[in-house]
Amino acid sequence: MPYSGLDLTGRKALVTGAARGIGAALAVGLAQAGADVAASDLPTATARAGLADTVRRIHDAGRAGFGCDLDVSDVASVGPTLERVASGLGGLDILVNNAGIRRRAPALEVTEDDWDAVLDTNLKGAFFCAQAAARLMIPHGFGRIISISSQLALVGAPHRAAYCASKAGLANLTRVLALEWAEYGITVNAIGPGPTTTPGLLAADARDADAVQAELSVKMPLGRRMDAEELVGAAIYLASDSAGATTGHLLVVDGGWTAI
Ligand SMILES: NC(=O)c1ccc[n+]([C@@H]2O[C@H](COP(=O)([O-])OP(=O)(O)OC[C@H]3O[C@@H](n4cnc5c(N)ncnc54)[C@H](O)[C@@H]3O)[C@@H](O)[C@H]2O)c1
């Protein structure tokens, strides 16, 4: 008989920032593992078009799902949106806090707007989504909250002050929430991806291919950027019954970046 501990059949999931990149891959991957999935992203025409494609792939996997607007930095909208998502799916068992932005600048040139934009999305948004999700999960005594942090939660990188602060904050926030919500049957974990080819990463990196490869040769034993699909198994595990005793953990999937 096949192992069933990773089967998400019957689970209801929300993935934020799911119009493209890692969020889209995780939304589709959770559906392929059996979950019904709501995919949310910014209330823009571009994001809605991306969500439509993500939702089509969720349906292709044979699962129910829909797209919805959610700017995670708009805290007032988070609770009502998650309530609508839970109502639409018939519950909420899994939250993937994936929405995130990057703004590269030397620390001496970072503006207050840069700092606030990155922290409001990557850290504050993730916290209030987790809080709203936990409020919906507690009455059912089960929940899986997974935040997409970064390998840069553990090590620094030049020109990434706000980003590194947000991702390190998210990793330690994960531990606090794991401690507080364990008694409710909710596990709280984070994934720390290394460099992964996505639209957001490519847009933020103006270097030519030789410069990128030179860095990867030194910093990343894998020797290449990852594909978003290489993060799916980690998310399925952390969302599954198999991970019931795994909480407060940062699961680094970084091609060896932090092993050096
Ligand atoms: N790609 C990488 O190398 C890498 C590495 C480590 C961590 N991460 C993290 O993974 C997550 C996804 O990154 P990606 O590379 O797929 O990025 P991406 O830019 O390709 O996609 C991010 C998605 O989030 C959405 N988004 C941005 N701000 C939002 C907001 N306020 N509310 C809701 N949605 C919002 C965007 O519209 C977009 O669809 C981010 O948290 C990022 O920090 C990425």
pLDDT at 38: 99
Residue 117 has pLDDT above 90, yes or no: yes
pTM (global) more than 0.95: yes
Ligand 1 pocket test target in 22, 46, 122, 123 with most atoms within 8 Å of CB: 22
Q: What tens digit of pLDDT does each residue of 146-205 get?
A: 999 999 999 999 999 999 999 999 999 999 999 999 999 999 999 999 999 999 999 999
Answer yes or no: 163 catalytic.
yes
12-253 — its CATH code? 3.40.50.720
Q: What tens digit of pLDDT does each residue of 13-66 get?
A: 999 999 999 999 999 999 999 999 999 999 999 999 999 999 999 999 999 999
Task: Name the CA dihedral angle for 147, 123, 115, 205, rounded to a multiple of 10 degrees.
Answer: 10
pLDDT at 102: 97
Ligand 1 in contact with 41 (CB < 6 A)?
yes
Distance separating alpha carbons of residues 114 and 201, to the nearest angstrom:
17
Nearest to 221 by CA among 147, 151, 148, 161: 151
Segments making up each domain of the chain, as ranges = 12-253
Taking the centre of ligand 1 as the mean of its atom positions, its distance from the CA of residue 200, in whole angstroms, is: 6
Distance separating alpha carbons of residues 170 and 148, to the nearest angstrom:
8
- What does the pLDDT average to over 113-136? 98
CB contact at 8 A, 155 and 252: no
